[in-house]
Chains A and B, each alone.
Chain A
C-alpha cells in the first residue's frame, strides 16, 4: 500500500479522535473538515458543555457583563462530529489505537489529537480547599459559582496569586466595589511573566485602585468557621485576613494523568511533540499517528533556540490546532511547522496589557516608548544582545513592529530612536525576573529542554 493510498483512505473514511473539546479541539475539528476530511470525527470532552471560550470568564463574566453559561465558541463551519461530552478519557492504548473513556467505552482511531489542556491548580490542602467559599477559576462551572458568590456581596475577597488570572479577578472585584486582598509570593504581580520592572507598575496599578496587595508572602492556612465556611487566611508574615471568599489562582496543571503508562511522552510539564505537533513517545521517538495541540503541548521553537515551549495562550491553541489538523492529513513534505510567535493579552484595571515573544527569557528591558509612570509604555526585552520579547501597556498598535524585531533576531538594545522615547528609555534596565528556582504563581510561559547556546535561524512568518 502506497503512502498516498493510505492518506487518501484516511481522508475519505478514516477515524479521527480529538480528546479535549475546548478551543484547540474545536478549531482542529473545523480545520480537518475544511481540508476535506470526510471520515468519522469524534470529539471527547470531560466537561458536559460544547466548546466555550475561557478568557471572558475572568473578565466580562466576573463583571456581570456576560453570562458564564453563554460563552460557547462560534463555529467556523459544520464539523459533523460524534460528541462525547461529559465523559473524560481515562486511558490510551497506543498499540491497539484506542482511547478509553470513563464510562468504559473504547474509541478506536487512525489518527488521534490530544488537546486536553490544563486545569486550575487547586489549593494543596484538601480540607481547606473544600471549605465553602474557596474557589478556583478555570471552567464555566467555576465561573458560575464564583460569580454567584460575588453577587452576594461578600465582605472581602481574598485572591491567592497575582498572575494574570489573579490580577484580573482582583480588577473585577474592585470594579464591583468589593474589598479585595491579593497575596503574592513574588515581589509584585505578573513578575513571573513580565519581570520586576513591569511588575512594579502592576503593583502600583492595583494599590491605586484600592487593592490590598501583599507581596513577598505566602498563605500558610485557610481557616473555616464551624459551618465549614472559609472565614480567614493566614499569611507567612503572621498576619490574618478575614475574607468570606477565597480564590486560589496558582496557575495550572496539565491534564496528562490519563496518559500514565500509555508509553506516550506525557508528564506534568505536558506532552512533548515536534514542531509538526507529532507527539513523542517515552523513548523519544516521534509517533506518526498521535498529535498534540494547545496548552498541553510542549514543542521546540526554532526562534527561541529550539527550546520546548508550553504556552497557555489562546492564539497558540488556535494556531497549533490548525497546524496539527493539517499535518494529520498530510504527507511529510506537505506538513507545516508550528512557529507561532508567543503572544498573549490581559485586561485589568482598564489597562490593556499585551505581550509578544518570550519576555521571561529576557535579562534586560528597555522602555522604548512611553513612560512607566503613565502606565502607557512599550517595554522591549533583551537576551544575549537580541530582542526576545516585548510588552505594551495601552500601546497595542506598536506591538507588531517589535514582533518583527523578535522574528528577525534584531539587536538589543534597538540601536535607533523612536517616537515617544522618554527618560525611561535612555538605557536598558535589568528586567528583574525572579530566580527561576523560586517558583512564582503561574507564569504563562515555561521554558525547559535542550538549549543550544547560540543558534540562529532565518524565520519568516506567514502574514495573517
Chain B
C-alpha cells in the first residue's frame, strides 16, 4: 500500500481544515482495519449501535495491546487512575452519578439553568472588551476565555490560575492525538507529567475546600455524600475534576469557534440569527452534527469478538468511532454535507450516545447558544480575515487555533 491509511491522512495536520472528504471515503468501508490492528467505524447506524453495545468497553485495561503509544488517553498510564470517561459500569455509573449530584437533576435540577444570567454577563464583558475591531482573534478574546471562566466558576477553580493549568491542559489535549510512531515514549512521559501536575494542583484546591467548603462543585464533590453510592475518595475527586476542567472548556471553545466560522460562511443563517436569537437553538444542534467539536471517540475496545457489517472486530482490538463522519452519513441524513439548521431531523452524534454521552452537554448547549446569538447581534458586519483559519493540532478535538475577524464596530 503506497498511500497512507485514511486514518493517518485524517490525523495528518494538513487535512485539518477539511477532513470531510476523507470521512466520505472512509464510509465506503464502514468498518476498516488499520495496519496496526485498530478498527475504525465511520457510519451512523454502526456507531450508534456500538455506543449502546454492552460488549464495548471504554476501559483501557481491556485492550489486548496496552496503548503503549498512548493513542488516546494520557490517563491510562498516568500516576492518577482513569476518570469515569475511561471506565465501564459499575464504576463509571457510580462516579458519574456522584459527579452529577452537584451538577444536574435530580439533585441539582436548577444549577445550570440558574447560571444563565452569569453566562450572559461574561459574554457581554468579553464582547465589550474586544477593542480593535479591524482585527481581533475570536479564539483568544472570546471562545476560549468564555468557557474557561464558566468552568472555573462552576468547579471553584480560581480564574487567575488559568495560565498555570493551561500549559498542562494544552499538553494533555495534544496527547489525545493518535500520532503513531513518533517518539511515543517521550510524548507519554510529557502527558503523564502534565496530568500529574494538574492533579496535584487540583489536590491543593480540594484540601482548601475540605477545610472551608463553598457552594462550588469541587466543594460538593469533596464533602458530599451520595446516598447508596457513599462519597468520593480524594483521588476520585481529583480524577473527576481533572476530567471536568478539561472537558468543560476544550470542547466548548471549538463548538463556539467552529460555529462562528460556519455562520460567517453562511451569511444568510447569520443574518437570521441576528434577527432571531432563538434560532441559535437549532443552529447549535446542526453545528453539533455538521462541525462537532469532538470528531472521533478514540480507543474503545470489545470484550469479545463482535461482528459488524460483515467484519469481526476481535476481542481486545482498539476501536475508533468517527462520530463526525457518522454525522454526515447519507444513509442517515438527507443532504448531509449541507449546513441546514432547518432540517428538523438533527439526531446527531455530536455528544455521543449511550452511557458515556457528554456529561456537560446542557452547559455546552447554553454557552454556544448564548455566545453565537450575542456575537451575531453585536458584531456589526463581521468578516473572516482568513479562510480557512489556522487550526489546532488535535484531530480529535478539532477547531481553529485562531479565528481572525474584523467588523465595523460593536453594537450596544
Contacts and interface: CB of A to CB of B under 8 A. Distances in A.
Contact of A419 (B45, B49, B303, B347): B303
B343 interface: no
Contacts of B12: none
Interface stretch (A44-52, A69-77, A283-291, A395-403): A395-403
A418 B55 contact: yes
Given A370-B89, A370-B90, A397 B303 contact: no
A404 interface: yes
Contact of B52 (A370, A401, A416, A417): A401
Nearest to B56: A419
A114 B52 CA distance: 38
B355 A417 contact: no
A418 B49 contact: no
B55 A416 contact: yes
Contacts, number: 47
Contacts of B56: 419
Interface residues of B, number: 18
Interface string A398-426: 10110010000000000011111000000
Given A370-B90, A376-B93, A400 B304 contact: no
A398 B49 CA distance: 10
B241 interface: no
A28 B53 CA distance: 34
Contacts of A376: 90, 93
A374 B49 CA distance: 26
A369 B52 contact: no
Interface in A367-395: 368-370, 374, 376, 378
A463 B333 CA distance: 13
Contacts of A397: 52, 354-355
Contacts of A416: 55, 303-304
A463 B329 CA distance: 15
A400 B49 CA distance: 8
A418 B52 contact: no
A368 B54 CA distance: 9
Contacts of A463: 45
B216 interface: no
Interface string B53-86: 1111100000000000000000000000000000
A416 B314 CA distance: 13
Interface in A353-371: 368-370
A369 B89 contact: yes
Interface string B188-223: 000000000000000000000000000000000000
B212 to A, nearest CB: 33
B130 to A, nearest CB: 42
A420 B52 contact: no
Nearest to B45: A463
Interface string B23-59: 0000000000000000000000100010011111100
Interface in B310-356: 347, 354-355
B88 interface: yes
B67 to A, nearest CB: 19
A427 B93 CA distance: 24
A250 B88 CA distance: 41
A360 B52 CA distance: 25
B23 to A, nearest CB: 21
Contacts of A401: 49, 52-54
Interface residues of A, number: 18
Nearest to B356: A397
A397 B347 CA distance: 16
A418 B88 CA distance: 10
A376 B304 CA distance: 23
B55 A420 contact: no
A420 B88 contact: yes
A418 B52 CA distance: 11
A417 B62 CA distance: 12
Chain B facing A: main interface SS: loop
A369 B88 CA distance: 11
B45 A420 contact: no
A464 B90 CA distance: 29
Given A418-B55, A419-B88, A419-B303, A404 B49 contact: yes
A269 to B, nearest CB: 35
A23 B359 CA distance: 34
B64 to A, nearest CB: 14
Interface string B278-312: 00000000000000000000000001100000000
Nearest to A418: B54
Contact of B55 (A370, A378, A400, A417): A417
A464 B347 CA distance: 11
Contacts of B49: 400-401, 404
Given A397-B354, A401-B52, A417 B303 contact: yes
Contacts of A400: 49, 52
Nearest to A394: B93
Given A397-B355, A401-B54, A419 B89 contact: yes
Nearest to A368: B54
A419 B57 contact: yes
Nearest to B58: A419
Contact of B54 (A374, A419, A464): A419
A217 B53 CA distance: 42
B304 A420 contact: no
Contacts of B57: 419
A398 B45 contact: no
B89 A417 contact: no
Interface string B346-377: 01000000110000000000000000000000
Interface string B81-109: 00000001110010000000000000000
Given A397-B354, A419-B303, A463-B45, A369 B54 contact: yes
A369 B56 CA distance: 13
Contacts of B228: 374
A416 B355 CA distance: 20
A42 B398 CA distance: 55
A418 B304 CA distance: 8
A398 B54 CA distance: 7
Interface string A413-443: 0001111100000000000000000000000
A420 B93 CA distance: 10
Nearest to A404: B49
Nearest to A375: B228
A362 B45 CA distance: 29
A398 B55 contact: no
A418 B59 CA distance: 12
Nearest to B353: A397
B294 to A, nearest CB: 19
A397 B49 CA distance: 11
Given A369-B54, A397-B354, A397-B355, A417 B304 contact: yes
26 contacts: A368-B54, A369-B89, A374-B228, A376-B93, A397-B355, A398-B52, A398-B354, A398-B355, A400-B49, A400-B52, A401-B49, A401-B52, A401-B54, A404-B49, A416-B304, A417-B55, A417-B303, A418-B55, A418-B303, A419-B54, A419-B57, A419-B88, A419-B89, A419-B303, A420-B89, A463-B45
Given A397-B354, A416-B303, 4 more contacts: A398-B354, A398-B355, A401-B52, A419-B57
Interface of B: 45, 49, 52-57, 88-90, 93, 228, 303-304, 347, 354-355
The 9 closest A-B pairs by CB, nearest first: A418-B54, A420-B89, A419-B88, A416-B304, A417-B303, A397-B354, A419-B54, A401-B52, A400-B52
Interface of A: 368-370, 374, 376, 378, 397-398, 400-401, 404, 416-420, 463-464
